[in-house]
Homo-oligomer: A and B are copies of this chain.
Amino acid sequence: MKEFNLGIIGLGNVGSGVVRILNERRFMLAQKIGSSIQIKRICDINLKRKHNVHVSEKIFTKNAYDIINDPQIDIVVELIGGIHPAYEYIFEALKKGKNVVTANKALLAEYGQQLFTHALDCNKNIYFEASVGAGIPIIKSLREGLVANKFHSVFGIVNGTSNFVLSCMSESHCSFNEALHLAKERGFAEKDPTLDIEGVDSAHKLILLTYLAFGRFVNMKDVWREGISSLSLADIRYAQELNLAIKLLAVAKRKTDSLEVRVHPALINNRHPLAAVNGVNNAIYVCSDLAGDLLFSGPGAGQSSAASAVVSDIVDVIQDLKAGMFRPTLNTLVDSSIKRLRNPDEFESRYYIRFTALDKPGVLAKISSILARYNISIASVTQKERHKAKSVPIVMVIHEAKERHLRQALVEIDKLPVIKEKSVAIRIEEL
């Protein structure tokens, strides 16, 4: 039975999960793939971590180049995360003729184009199933299962921390801060959760999904991004009354020859399958032209689910290595019908809007006349409370409007003396 040698760089949470699976499932995997997988070397700067796993002490090193330069190693698994030195390790490993498996979405979102091109030059490949949706086989599905399809749009709930916080606010009617506190307590949020709650992590994953679905590598600066930290419980509750659920959505959407790529809180119909994706679960909803609208969902994080994806990549590399080829479907096709990225000003959407206004006659007339001037038509409006001489919330849903027009209208409306707070606007995504 042919044996393939693995070098693992990074023995953190996911890394030790991978080692455990490869140890415990050695026989099962060998039977399935007809080859055996040998962990030849493990690198971590913290040698104490070797106590996490049951492998011979001799295979440990603090120097990644002991792996990268080892001619006997076929596959390098990069699991240290971060941009540097992960970039250099992967670049060099490819150059040395190794295929690379990584879960590093931040790196691929930023340097994917360079690394994929470099891999192609080296006739090697980079596998990254674990980088989006952990154990959900979304990358394989987009690339192989849906190989014949063109895509209209991809919608993702791809950050477990944010989804936990929003689910918690929606279900327990707690504040953002309370929900985030609970997420931290349960280990679902980092000490500094900025990257998660501000949509940075979602944007990283969206860049990879966009690449897979549309063959375009979008820059981080071209992803319109809004986080969830400014969402108030009041808006979530008012939206619930309208049968809308709040999600941090990552959206890549084609409109004729242009593509819009954005991450922001969005309200979706309560009955849409994405609305049922709660807690730390992730989901990707793919609108394809042949296979139709597909939902993939499951746990979006966790040691064993991410490790499950890494091991499936390792198996794929081995299949390719045995075949003496790199799997050409891995090369995403550039969709040449997409000519440009849409500017946020061009976005069009329905909106939930909450105005905070004095409770007196004529307020609605003032607001709606400004909206009318910007060609924005109102679908529904409800005044939520009554408090003479105090300001009250007015919740409005508007029909599809250009983002730019809405923003201009809101600036004008917020200048009205009857308006007492900055108005809140949340997109309603039609799925």
Contact = CB atoms under 8 A, between A and B. Distances in A.
B311 A148 contact: yes
Nearest to A327: B319
Given A25-B148, A144-B315, A323-B325, 18 more contacts: A32-B328, A135-B288, A137-B146, A144-B316, A145-B312, A147-B311, A271-B276, A289-B304, A290-B308, A291-B299, A291-B305, A294-B296, A295-B296, A319-B327, A319-B328, A320-B323, A322-B323, A323-B323
A317 to B, nearest CB: 12
Contacts of A293: 298-299
Query: What are the 9 A-B residue pairs with the smallest beta carbon separation, nearest first?
Result: A137-B145, A323-B323, A135-B291, A294-B298, A290-B308, A292-B299, A148-B311, A34-B328, A291-B308
Given A297-B273, A307-B290, A323-B323, A145 B140 contact: yes
A94 interface: no
A277 interface: yes
Interface centre among A34, A308, A331 (most CB of B within 10 A): A308
A324 interface: yes
A148 B31 contact: no
A297 B297 CA distance: 9
A304 to B, nearest CB: 4
A40 B320 CA distance: 28
A149 B135 CA distance: 10
Interface centre among A149, A290, A292, A325 (most CB of B within 10 A): A290
15 contacts: A32-B147, A32-B329, A34-B328, A137-B141, A140-B144, A144-B315, A147-B311, A148-B307, A273-B273, A273-B297, A289-B304, A292-B299, A293-B299, A319-B327, A323-B324
Contacts of A379: none
B329 A33 contact: yes
Interface in A309-347: 309, 311-312, 315-316, 319-320, 322-325, 327-329, 331, 333
- Specify how many copies of this chain sit in the oligomer: 2
Contact of A328 (B33, B299, B329): B33
A291 B136 contact: yes
Contacts of A33: 147, 328-329
Interface in A327-371: 327-329, 331, 333
A55 interface: no
A147 B29 contact: yes
Contact of A134 (B29, B291, B333): B291
